[in-house]
Structure 1
Amino acid sequence: MNKLIKSKWFKWLITFIAIALFVVIYRKVEIIRETLSVILISFIIAYSLKPLKNKILERVSINPRFLSALLILFTIGLIVGSFALLIPSLMKESIDVEGIISSISGFILSIMKKIKSINNETLDIIIIHMQEKINIWLINLSSSFFDMIVKLWENAISMAVIPVVSYYFLADGEKLLNKSLLVLPTEKRTVIKIISKDIDNVLGRYIFSQIILSLIVIIFTFIGLIVLKVKFPLWLSLINGIANIIPYFGPLLGWIPALFIALISSPTKAIETAFLYMFIQQIEGDIISPKITGDSVNMHPLGIIILLLIGEKIGGIVGMVLAIPIGVIIKVIYEDINYYIF
């Protein structure tokens, strides 16, 4: 029995059960989900600012805690300023949503009528079913923006806590790690510190590169859509930039709404928009991404796809965005444990 408990496979089985149990609790218990979401967002903000903090400390003699507070305040100011600039434009574009939804509905119905002219009973049933689905989807789409505003207001307290938690992660990250290590046996602490440093190197590089790439994609997409005079350029560029974080599936998620809206204007504009997105994807994938990202993830494509599918099932689009960073952490832990312990 003791031999089984000490075996490598038994330890991995216990780890797997613990992770599965954590996922179930996360999905079922709302208070835990909301608390962990605040911690996770705060951690990402602090992690994104950590390289900048280290660079400044190398060049300027300043109190690290004071610098952490300045960086958090600067980030809050940047986010609030960005919202102040973007929200009026986004609201202005959102006013036209009802009109575009009517156009989309009319466009789809005209296609349906053409198809319906074919005398086929089965096809008629399919078309009626599709019309019902499309109407439901359009109603949900029209109310989604306002639902998002309400959701943000409901989570105002949680959002107010995020800067405070981010500050403590940024200012006392090393202390928090050392304190948490006290629960472990002395001989294991060095290994955990090495694992933490390796995660820090890989994950920090990945997060930084994804933020830069998303900003570049947003700017390129926005300029291109303005030139092509496609409606909702700001919304569509933000969607494309954020979706671009998701490997493989992300570009497709970014393309669909833009092509659909362009198609309402004219098939020619849809083709031009498709070429624009293909051009941006080519530039990002072949030129910009290798220079910025390099091989920061170093994971097999099949592993990435499996992670994305699991992430989508657990947390939807947000789950897909977080799947790769979490996968990177698990990969580093697995490799380091194999090397240092087994």
Structure 2
Amino acid sequence: MPLLKDKEWRLAFKFVAMFFLFLLATHLVVTLAPIISLFIIAVLFVYCISPFVNFLVEKKIPPFIAAGIVTLIMLFMIFAFFYMLIPTILKEFNQLTRYVATDFRQTLRIILQEIEELDSIFNFTFSDNLEQFILENLNRLPYYLQSLFVKLTSASVTVISHIWTVLGLLFLIFYLVQDLNRVKQNFTRLFPQIYHKDIGHVLNVIDGKVGAYIRGNILRCSMVGILTWIGLLLIGMPFSLILGFVAGVLNVILYIGPIIATIPAVLLSLTPTSPNPLLVLAIYIVVQTLDAFVLSPMLLGKAVNLRPLTIIIVLLIGGRLMGALGVIIAIPLTATLKVLLFHYYLKGRNLDLL
């Protein structure tokens, strides 16, 4: 009997200890969230540029110099992006705000009048509810767009003003990218010698999957954004740059993102000065078809090999927990979890849970 009581006390103590450790870990994550976010961003950049550093190292260039060259090129590209593209997008966004408050409002009123005529013919009351809903949201829309414009502008200024954070991020990327193999080796040494080969294999698989997904996705989304911008520009669609930018950014969110990106373009095309809505919709369909059958298989392949439902769920969870950064890292983290689950728990079983 005393022995049984002793076991129960030990089990209770373990549960209490685990609970307090969980609370402590949660507190640390919340407290250190800015530093953790900075480290995650650095790791994402490292995965993007590490193949270029490895290529230079293979050409007999010392790792320190190779990392410096690639980091400087990356810095130049980021600076060029902010200097050339962001001001143009912000300017176009400001014009869009004024456009919604004038031309777009008039177009919607014309559409509502047409719906009212159909209601009178078929004796429906659909237009009353629709008109109330549209006018309520339409009055708020310019305010929301203006608020978003202010946030985007202040975000750009914040990035520039936090120069020390940016420099810290660059140095972190620089040292991580040249010592990536050493970091993996040191991590492996934390475990007993018997597990070194196994852990090294898992790290290589994760490295390949996550790296391929991040690099492929950046290139894929950039191509989608550029193709959308060019297509809309050729048919004379106003605000083609900002619509292309939105299409590229939202393309990160698989399945849902492209649909969300299409909606504002189709709505804006309803105005008299815009191209035919069907033509605008055709541009988006063509670009997404190219993405589905050419870009995704070529650039992503089966990098993560996750089910569509899993992808949607983890994107929602990631967005809820960490916002935009959570959406970006949700799929690579889930792919990592899948590798670990398969290697240590599901190996040899015909199961595919994710």
What TM-score, normalized by structure 1, do the two folds share? 0.82
Please name the residue that 1:238 is paired with: 245
Report the secondary structure of 2:32's partner residue: helix
Q: Mind listing any 5+ residue stretches in structure 2 that lack a counterpart?
A: 8-13, 350-354
> Aligned letter for 2:155?
K
Cα offset, 1:98, TM superposition: 3.0
User: Given the alignment, which residue of 202, 220, 224 partners 1:195?
Assistant: 202
Most deviating of 197-206 and 182-191: 182-191
**1:297 match: secondary structure:** coil
The structure whose Rg is larger is 2
SS at 1:67 equivalent: helix
Does the 8 A contact of 1:228 with 1:269 survive in 2? no
- Alignment CA distance shift 1:78-1:131 (3 Å): same
Correspondence for 2:149? 145
Q: What is the distance in 2 between the residues matched to 1:316 and 1:232?
A: 26
SS in 2 for 1:62: coil
Distance in 2 between residues matched to 1:265 and 1:167, nearest whole Å:
52
1:191–1:340 Cα contact (<8 Å) kept: no
Offset of residue 140 of structure 1? 1.5
Residue equivalent to 1:49: 49
Query: Quick one: structure 1 residues 322 and 265, their matched pair in 2 at CA, closer, same or farther if it must change by over 3 Å?
Result: farther
1:209-229 per-position Cα deviation (integer Å, ceiling 9, x unaligned):
112212221221121111011
- TM-superposed CA distance for 1:304, in Å, is 1.8
Within-5 A mapping of 1:86-97: 86-97=85-96
Q: Which amino acid aligns with 2:256?
A: F
Paired with 1:122 and 1:259, the residues of 2 have a C-alpha distance of: 22
**Aligned CA-pair RMSD:** 3.4
Residue 218 (structure 2) aligned to one of 198, 201, 211: 211
Residue 50 of structure 2 corresponds to residue 83 of structure 1: no
How far does residue 114 in structure 1 lie from its aligned partner after superposition? 5.8
**Deviations, residues 155-192 of structure 1 (Å, cap 9, x unaligned):** 42433322111112101122233334454444444433
| Separation (CA, whole Å) in 2 of partners of 1:339 and 1:45 | 31
- Partner of 1:295, secondary structure, is coil
Q: Note the residue ranges of structure 1 that are not aligned, 5 or more in a row.
A: 4-9
1:309 positional shift:
2.5
Residue pair 1:243, 1:250 contacting (<8 A) in 2 also: yes
- The verdict on how the C-alpha distance between 1:300 and 1:90 changes in structure 2, with shifts beyond 3 A counting, is closer
Aligned residues: 327
Q: Which digits, 9 at most, give the CA deviation of each residue in 1:84-142, with x for residues without a partner?
A: 22134324423412322213333334445665786999975674455333333431212
1:264 partner SS:
coil
Distance 2:130 2:27 in 1: 37
Going from structure 1 to structure 2, the CA distance change for 1:33 and 1:340 (only over 3 Å counts) comes to same
Quick one: structure 1 residues 105 and 321, their matched pair in 2 at CA, closer, same or farther if it must change by over 3 Å? Answer: farther
Q: State the AA in 2 paired with 1:331.
A: K
Moved more, 40-49 or 305-314: 305-314
Hey, what does 2:137 align to over in structure 1?
133
Q: Distance in 1 between matches of 2:225 and 2:69?
A: 27
Q: Deviations over 1:36-87 (max 9, x none)?
A: 22111111111111111112222x1111011101111110011112322213
Deviation per residue, 1:267-304 (Å, 9 max, x gap):
85221110011011112211232222222121222222
Query: 2:352: which partner in 1?
Result: none
Rate the CA distance shift 1:44–1:244 in 2: closer, same or farther, 3 A.
same
Aligned-pair identity (%):
24
Give the equivalent residue in structure 2 for 1:7.
none
